[in-house]
Structure 1
Amino acid sequence: MLQTLRIQNFALVAELEVTFQRGLNVLTGETGAGKSILLDAIDALLGGKLSARQLRSGAEQGCIEAIFTLPPPVRDWLATLEIDAEGDEVICSREFSLKGETFRSRSRVNGVLVNRQQLLELRRYLVRLTAQGQAVQLASASQQRDWLDRYGGEALMTQRQRVAEAYRAWQQRQRELQDFATQEQQRLQRLDLLHFQLQELLPAALEDPEELTQLQQDYQRLSHVQELQSQSQRAYHLLYEGEPSGVTLLAQAQGALQSIADWDPALQPISELLEGAIAQAEEAARQLRSYADRLDADPATLDALGQRIQQLQRLCRKYGPDLASVIAYRDRIQAELAALRDAATSQEHLEAEVAQLRQILEQASEHLHQLRQRAAERLEQDLLSHLCPLGLPQARFAVELKPTAISSSGSDEITFLWSANPGQPLQPLGEIASGGEMSRFLLALETCLTTQQTPKTLIFDEIDVGVSGRVAGAIAESLSCLGQTHQVLCVTHQSLIAAAADHHYLVQKDVDPSTATTVIRVQYLTDEARVQALADLAGGDRSAMALSFASGLLAQQQRPFPPNAEGISMKT
């Protein structure tokens, strides 16, 4: 239930606070007085469109705020967004400002910033707006489907959600399969390329990343084998076999020192160094002889090394800067090739999944169709029972379900068929219903829908336009009945409807003499003021006859109207 509405610098409202009550609340006033501004403010507050044109002239910023009673579904919704619930109330606000040509707005729920989509979700739990000019909605197949589904209750809405989930799952796999088919040519081309590359890489038997470096060293050695043999043999000869040899000279030097070492002990360490040098020179000579004997000047070995080096260098130029990179690339494309070969199997799995998900979707849609058929039969009877007292006893109504391409909403195309007069065939509602008939249809439909939902605030904006006094009385009775289980806000020009209200608000547009600007004022009416307002609605004057008629209307309703003037405050 909407408890309090506060408006600042919105349209013609400078500052206004209105407290609404349970039951049927009506707003009356002259045409253009600004009654619908209050409803526009509620719409903007809960995710409706808001533009710079709705900012009060001369103001730079404004705000709309409302306090609602906190129903259980809203408490659960707040919990999902981790927004704290403040007692038994939920506070919604929307601030807006204009700086230069930039218009901005931001919304909060219990002080927490929320986006427009979240506001629209919250709106479903709090209010529903019905206007006489909803001809476009009446002609909309999607709107008619939504009405039928809401009437079908929780079971139908749950099944519709299952269909939506099944449709999303099927669509996702379908897109994956289509993408796979689109990429099949690229996959085959890639397979050929990798297969060709591996035919070149695998026979090379690459294992050691240092192989090329080692081979280059071996090739360098073998390509100079004659010079290596010659020089190593010469070094051996100088060290061991020359006349005199290096070893002999070292031995002679060591002998000379040894002969005089007894005269000066300082020569002993030098003699020992020479002794070590003799041993090292003899070992070097031995290794040189062995090295020269091992050298192999076989041209075939040298040629084989050269070919292997060329092979590895060619692979490095094509697949990597070094042999380690080539080996890593080979391993990577081997894994990719295996994955691409498995892709054919993946496609078969995808095709099977798509078929299975399609079957699940069709089964869910068929169940949804059956639930809609049963709901349509109930709605046809229920709606006609509410239309009869609204002055349409001969009206006929049917819900037509035609098969259509499956979507997230199922496989039904839903059309409301209507005939207000005997002998006239059923035709689509949005094409033939008059304004007055639409008003009554919307009210009857809203009455049917309220039985399928938790109480909320129902807003009716001039749905009584174009109806006679007798029909207005029937509308008043229907609104009064709705007010027993829901809070109802209704903008009306009909005295019969205003008289049926539990609470009556008069909206007036005045000129503030201090600022010479137009302002909107709201007055809560009781007693004599209410009689006068009803007389204005009924006859446009306050003659004794009009006042008597208005008093009679109120007496027929026999409703108490407690004073509530303190519930409204205004600043201009």
Structure 2
Amino acid sequence: MLLCLRIENFALIDQLELDFGAGLNVLTGETGAGKSIILDAIDAVLGGKVSSRVIRTGTSRAMVEATFTTNPPLAAWLTEQEIDLIDDNSVVISREITVSTSNIRSRSRVNGVLVNRQIMGGLRDRLVEITAQGQTVQVGQSAQVRDWLDMYGGDTLIQQRQHIGTAFSAYQQAHTNLEKRRTSERERLQQLDLLTYQVQELSTANLSDPQELEQLQQERERLNHVVDLQQMSYKVYQALYQTEDETLAVSDLLGDSEATLNDMVEYDGQLQPLLDLVRDAQTAITEVARQINTYGESLEADPQRLEEVEERIRELKQICRKYGPSLTEAIAYSEKIQAELAVLNDSEQSIESLEQQEKVCFDKLTQSCQKLTQLRQKTGATLESRLIAELKPLAMEKVKFQVEILPIVPTSAGADKITFMFSPNPGEPLQPLTEIASGGEMSRFLLALKACFNQADAAATLVFDEIDVGVSGRVAQAIAEKLHQLSQHHQVLCVTHQPLVAAMADKHFRVDKQTVTQGKGKKSNNGSSEQRTVVRVTNLDDLTTRREELAQLAGGKSASDAIAFAESLLTQAANHRQGQRS
């Protein structure tokens, strides 16, 4: 329920604070007095579209703040959105709108937390629903009518729609996969040819060791320098172990050094470590000499092996240029394209499997849609009888109404086009509601529709903007009673010109325009004090002022007959409320 609405610099409102109550809250006033501005402010604070025109002339910032009561489901939803509760009873929503020379900006907060448009949309659905005669466009939209019918059908129907949403997503994905596969067939065949050639070439190359190229290059160097290596090996062997002239080899020198150190150790034991080092060196030199001699003797020229190595090196370098740049990367690429080739080969049969998969998904979607259609037909029949019953007290005793359900291509919301068919007069055929209903008939239809949704509506506050335009007399009284009926389960805010409706209010506000002098000592361009138009709202909380307002609505002036009529309306409304309570 909307507890309080605070408005600053919004359209013609400079500052305004309204405290609403439970039951039926009515706003009255002359045409153009600013009643709809208040409803526009409610719409704006709940995330509705705004333009720079909503900011009061001469200012750059507008602000609307609304305080609502909470309930356990709303509190749980706010907690899910990570919005802290101020207390257990209320939630405060504010929207600040600023304008500059280039653009308009707005920021919405819930309990002081900045929120985005998506959260505001979810909050709006849980708090307020606005109904106006201008909703004729919505009534003509199949999607909106479908949503109304599904909401009237309750959880079973909504859950079936959710099943369809899942089935439709699965079908769309299967269809997309199939179309993608079909359109890429030429590319697949081209890729298949390319990868087949590459895999064959890489397989023929027999790649296995990432170090093979480096090892072959080393082997080539060795085969190209066999003679040099033999000569150098023998030279090293002579230098280390055995010379052909009188020059002493390294091993001989170390032997002499070892003998000398051995004599020295007999006199000074501290030299023993040095002696050990020389002995170790002697052993190492001897081993090196042996191995280098064996290496040199094992070397021999092998022209055939050299040619084989050269050929393999050329082959591997060619592979690296095409698939490398290194042999490691070429091997990795080979493994990768083998896997890709396996997938492409498997895809030769994938069109048939994808077609089958698409058919299975479509069949599931169709079956779900058929079940939803059956539920809608059953719900439509219930709504037809219920709505006709709600319309009869609104001076539409002979009305005919039908929920027309026609098949369409399956969508995420089912396979039905839903239209409200209407005939207000006997003998006239059913036609789409938006094509045949007058303004007054549309007002009554919307009100009756809302009465049908009385128990299903999640919103605690229902707003009606001049829903009674175009009606009078007995019909206006019926509308007043219907609004009062709704107010037993919801808070109702209603903008009206009908004294019969206003008399039924639990709380009555009069809206009017006043001219005030803005700013102490402030002068206009011509030197006079600046006059500004503002909207003012008066809470008619006493019988006298309320009676006078009803008299104004009924007779245009507070004449005695108009006052008497207003008193009769108030008495009649009190009797109706008393009858409802009893």
Q: TM-score, normalised by structure 2?
A: 0.87
- Residue identity (%): 49
Deviates further, 376-385 or 220-229: 220-229
The answer to whether the aligner puts 1:44 opposite 2:19 as a matched pair is no
**Which residue of the partner structure matches residue 81 of structure 1?**
81
Shift of 1:208: 2.5
Aligned-partner SS, 1:194: helix
User: Partners of 1:421 and 1:502 in 2: how far apart?
Assistant: 35
Gaps of 5+ in 2: 520-530, 578-582
**Which residue of the partner structure matches residue 376 of structure 1?**
380
The answer to whether the aligner puts 1:557 opposite 2:573 as a matched pair is yes
Shift of 1:365: 1.2
**Which residue of the partner structure matches residue 19 of structure 1?**
19
**Which residue of the partner structure matches residue 159 of structure 2?**
158
The residue type equivalent to 1:147 in the other structure is W
**Residues 1:125 and 1:278: Cα distance change in structure 2 (over 3 Å):** closer
Question: 1:457·1:486 contact (CA, 8 Å) conserved in 2?
Answer: yes
The residue type equivalent to 1:485 in the other structure is H
The answer to whether the aligner puts 1:316 opposite 2:320 as a matched pair is yes
Shift of 1:38: 0.8
Aligned-partner SS, 1:393: coil
Aligned-partner SS, 1:364: helix
Deviates further, 509-518 or 41-50: 509-518
Question: 1:127·1:456 contact (CA, 8 Å) conserved in 2?
Answer: yes
The residue type equivalent to 2:549 in the other structure is A
Aligned-partner SS, 1:558: helix
The residue type equivalent to 2:532 in the other structure is T
Aligned-partner SS, 2:154: helix
Shift of 1:15: 1.1
Shift of 1:60: 2.0
User: Partners of 1:476 and 1:276 in 2: how far apart?
Assistant: 118
User: Partners of 1:201 and 1:351 in 2: how far apart?
Assistant: 35
The answer to whether the aligner puts 1:4 opposite 2:26 as a matched pair is no
**Residues 1:523 and 1:223: Cα distance change in structure 2 (over 3 Å):** same
**Which residue of the partner structure matches residue 418 of structure 1?**
422
Shift of 1:24: 1.3
**Which residue of the partner structure matches residue 199 of structure 1?**
200
**Residues 1:407 and 1:311: Cα distance change in structure 2 (over 3 Å):** same
Shift >6 Å, 4+ stretches: 234-239, 269-285
**Which residue of the partner structure matches residue 564 of structure 1?**
none
Shift of 1:95: 1.3
User: Partners of 2:138 and 2:284 in 1: how far apart?
Assistant: 108
Shift of 1:550: 1.1
User: Partners of 2:392 and 2:282 in 1: how far apart?
Assistant: 132
Question: 1:47·1:117 contact (CA, 8 Å) conserved in 2?
Answer: no
User: Partners of 2:250 and 2:567 in 1: how far apart?
Assistant: 148
Question: 1:254·1:275 contact (CA, 8 Å) conserved in 2?
Answer: no
**Residues 1:371 and 1:246: Cα distance change in structure 2 (over 3 Å):** same
Aligned-partner SS, 2:453: helix
**Which residue of the partner structure matches residue 399 of structure 1?**
403
Question: 2:129·2:459 contact (CA, 8 Å) conserved in 1?
Answer: no
**Residues 1:45 and 1:273: Cα distance change in structure 2 (over 3 Å):** closer
**Which residue of the partner structure matches residue 527 of structure 1?**
543
- Counterparts of 1:91-106 in structure 2, within 5 Å, are 91-106=92-107
**Residues 1:411 and 1:246: Cα distance change in structure 2 (over 3 Å):** same
**Which residue of the partner structure matches residue 56 of structure 2?**
56
Gaps of 5+ in 1: 562-572
Shift of 1:372: 0.8
CA offsets 1:405-460 (integer angstroms, 9 cap, x no match)? 11111001011111111221111110111111111111111111113335621111
**Which residue of the partner structure matches residue 140 of structure 1?**
141
**Which residue of the partner structure matches residue 172 of structure 1?**
173
**Residues 1:560 and 1:9: Cα distance change in structure 2 (over 3 Å):** farther
Higher relative contact order (CA 8 A, sep 6+): 1
**Residues 1:278 and 1:416: Cα distance change in structure 2 (over 3 Å):** closer
**Which residue of the partner structure matches residue 538 of structure 1?**
554
The residue type equivalent to 1:546 in the other structure is A
Shift of 1:363: 1.9
What's the Cα RMSD here? 3.3
Shift of 1:64: 0.9
- Counterparts of 1:161-560 in structure 2, within 5 Å, are 161-229=162-230, 240=242, 242=244, 244=246, 290-344=294-348, 350-454=354-458, 456-515=460-519, 516-525=531-540, 526-558=542-574
Aligned-partner SS, 2:308: helix
Shift of 1:201: 1.8
User: Partners of 2:565 and 2:250 in 1: how far apart?
Assistant: 150
Aligned-partner SS, 1:133: helix
Deviates further, 194-203 or 499-508: 194-203
CA offsets 1:252-300 (integer angstroms, 9 cap, x no match)? x969x98xx99xx99xx99999999998888777656544432222321
Deviates further, 173-182 or 237-246: 237-246
Question: 1:504·1:524 contact (CA, 8 Å) conserved in 2?
Answer: yes
Aligned-partner SS, 2:515: strand
The residue type equivalent to 2:13 in the other structure is V
**Residues 1:215 and 1:138: Cα distance change in structure 2 (over 3 Å):** closer
The residue type equivalent to 1:410 in the other structure is G
**Residues 1:375 and 1:224: Cα distance change in structure 2 (over 3 Å):** same
- Counterparts of 1:90-129 in structure 2, within 5 Å, are 90-129=91-130
Aligned-partner SS, 1:84: coil
User: Partners of 1:401 and 1:248 in 2: how far apart?
Assistant: 110
**Which residue of the partner structure matches residue 72 of structure 1?**
72
The residue type equivalent to 1:533 in the other structure is E
Question: 2:251·2:285 contact (CA, 8 Å) conserved in 1?
Answer: no
